[in-house]
Amino acid sequence: MALLRIEDLNIDYMTLRGRLRAVKNASLTLGEGEWLSIVGESGSGKSTLAMAIPGLLLPPGRITSGRIIFQGRDLTGMSGDELRRIRGSEIGVVFQDPLTSLDPLRTIGDQMVEAIMEHRAAGSKREALEMASAALESVGIPGNRVKYYPHQLSGGQRQRVMIAMAVMLKPRLLIADEPTTALDVIVQASIMRLLKSLQRKMGMSIILITHDIALAAEVSDRIAVMYAAEIVEEGPAEQVIEEPLHPYTEALIKSTPDLWREKTLYSIPGNPPDLRNPPSGCRFHPRCHKAFEPCKSREPRPTRIRDRMVACHLYG
Amino acid sequence: MAILEVEDLKKHFTQGDLIDRLLGRVRIVKAVDGVSFKLNRGETLALVGESGSGKTTTGKLILRLLEPTSGRIVFDGIDITRMREGELRRLRPRMQMIYQDPYASLNPRMEVGKAIAEPLVVHGRASWSEARREALEMLERVGLTPARDFYRRKPIQLSGGQRQRVVIARAMILKPDLLVADEPVSMIDVSMRTSILKLLLDFKREYNMSMIMITHDLAVARLVADRTAVMYLGKIVEIGPTEDILHNPGHPYTEALIAAAPTIVRGARKPSLRIRGEIADPSRIPSGCRFHPRCPYSDGSKCVKEEPQLAGASRMVACHYPLTR
């Protein structure tokens, strides 16, 4: 059974210069224990889509239509209180910069205990503190570091603390929004290994948001590629990487510098479009080397090919 | 012929206020701790390492944006180590630097065209009207077209990649002999990185410019650099031709960096080496080989006591037990 089903989701930002559709007709399914990575460039809508799931859209962002079914319940109709209860206990969230989500003036133990007590997951503060230190151990940080302040930890350790906080109440889903973008490569690799082992041990599902398709390729069960507010391709990671269907996915892979492939200076021509004034037809057509007549005038519809989805006129 | 020679360059910062000083609690942060290399005309050298490796400080020292503690910097045959600002000013147009954050390196209130034209006027190379014409050509060159339209825009109206193009145009309009590029693509989407790097390579070829590419990303070094120097805690631990280093790393730290680089290639033959922990605090540099606390090959005695020196010819490694010989 699916843990999460997103159906025809549309998200708008109301700006002074008019309405901007940040996510357009997005549909996705995530199974229990599955790792889905949503890949795309800045402004593709990947973070907006992911943040909408646990109700963390920042105004002026607003879901205008569609449903987000999590464990059988529609999250889009829920109140702020209900969503707060679900966040942390059933859905954990990790952001790019741990410093912005940790209070510099309080120990990390204090902040973890508060979150545990808020969800009434422990009977006493002492029990909560024990839970917090066990959670730190589970991410490779000695349990006695509950007494530390955030500045006493390195960037990589702080991100581990954020992960500990996100998973300590054993959520079914972890959403990680560019969790390693601010970190060095060696630390990045260790954080990715940690997430992978937590996914396996806890049987938890993960949604990773990243602009780096190589990072996604190494850890994901499935990959969704977003371009200009739309999901243009989705499928099993191996197939998306080895035989991309959408020309954008193909170009994205080709343009990513990689130590284990032949050296190339290929880059995708042009720039991502302005979402206030997106191109007609297929939004990728001005940059697509395979574009033909219908691409300019008609929007491609999502096509299912076995276990995969692609939105491109090449596939009917 | 070398455009730049750096000899035993050091930058030590003292950390602590007056009270710390009185109490003798001052800590010395050895950000750069004895770096030597030569850069030939038209050559690109990558300085690769994690945050805290001293690569950015090295870049700033080379351009004398920071005062070196000791060592020697020779630019095009001229010793600039202790040169005064007045004299340096004449050399400045020949040595340019671009930074990681294109948002921070542009004046938010200035039209980007004017920002590109400004250095020509400041250095007395052109009048405003000539500078404007050259800036328009430059906008064209870096792919910000229609140039007349982009000239009038403010930085906030541009994407990160477009801003970095403006920053590059501003540095290139002076046709420098040496460019120090500090993580120029690390804040830019992976998919846009190659086009920015290609732009730098095109300018490099056209001006026969030399370049120092500071990056934490070996894949970036591979695309642009003839040679690569891997830095760890203020020192170069390995230096040599880039492809050679990538195929056959000599230092365990280099191997660890390669092992950590993500790839889309399934079954890529990555080294399996994984190292412990994070880079040490540069005010508490470990004894002996400064990498030993994280090194899986440390012998626990020589590595802890004796500091290995860079040894070799075209390829140099500072390790008691190099992976290659």
pLDDT digits (tens, 9 = 90+) for A7-23: 999 999 988 878 899 99
Q: Give the pLDDT of residue B122.
A: 94
Architecture of domain B2-109+154-317 in this structure: 3-Layer(aba) Sandwich (3.40)
Amino acid at B270: K
Is A2-90+172-256 a CATH 3.40.50.300 domain? yes
> Does B25 have pLDDT greater than 90?
no
Q: Which of A155, A215, A257 sits opposite B220 (nearest CB)?
A: A257
pLDDT digits (tens, 9 = 90+) for B98-156: 998 877 889 999 999 999 999 999 999 999 999 999 999 999 999 999 999 999 999 99
Confidence (pTM): 0.93
**The complex's ipTM?**
0.91
Residue that the structure tokens 């969503």 belong to: A83
**Are residues A217 and B262, on separate chains, in Cβ contact within 8 Å?**
yes
pLDDT digits (tens, 9 = 90+) for B50-76: 988 999 999 999 999 999 999 999 999
How close A229 comes to chain B (CA, Å)? 16
Q: Give the pLDDT of residue B325.
A: 54
What residue spans in chain A does CATH classification 3.40.50.300 cover? 2-90+172-256
Distances in Å between the Cα of B11 and the Cα atoms of A110, B7, B8, B173 are: 39, 12, 10, 31
Which letter does DSSP use for residue B176 in this model?
A: -
Residue B38: strand, helix, or coil: strand
Structure tokens at A102: 């940790």
> Does B190 have pLDDT greater than 90?
no
**Are residues A263 and B223, on separate chains, in Cβ contact within 8 Å?**
yes
Residue that the structure tokens 């980007």 belong to: B112
Establish if B261 touches chain A: CB-CB under 8 angstroms.
yes
pLDDT digits (tens, 9 = 90+) for A101-129: 889 999 999 999 999 999 999 999 999 99
> Does B1 have pLDDT greater than 60?
yes
What are the residue boundaries of the structural domains of chain B, listed by start?
2-109+154-317
How close A49 comes to chain B (CA, Å)? 18
Q: Kindly give the interhelix angle for B128-141 and B160-172, rounded to the nearest 10 degrees.
A: 130
When pLDDT is averaged across residues B163-186 and rounded to a whole number, the result is: 95
- Which residue in A has a C-alpha nearest to residue B217's C-alpha? A185
Amino acid at B50: E
**Are residues A255 and B194, on separate chains, in Cβ contact within 8 Å?**
yes
Distance CA B107, CA B251 (A): 42
When pLDDT is averaged across residues B242-260 and rounded to a whole number, the result is: 95
First-to-final CA distance of chain B: 28
Question: What are the residues of chain A with a beta carbon less than 8 Å away from any beta carbon of chain B?
Answer: 41-43, 154-157, 184-190, 211-215, 217-218, 238, 241-242, 251-253, 255-261, 263-268, 271-272
Distance CA A128, CA A130 (A): 5
**Residue B15 vs residue A8, higher pLDDT:** A8
State phi, psi for B260 to the nearest 5 degrees: -85, -10
Residue B287: strand, helix, or coil: coil
Q: Find the DSSP H helices in chain B.
A: 18-22, 55-62, 85-91, 112-122, 128-141, 147-151, 160-172, 190-207, 218-224, 242-247, 252-260, 302-305
**Residue B196 vs residue B17, higher pLDDT:** B196
Q: Which of B190, B246, B264 sits opposite A211 (nearest CB)?
A: B190
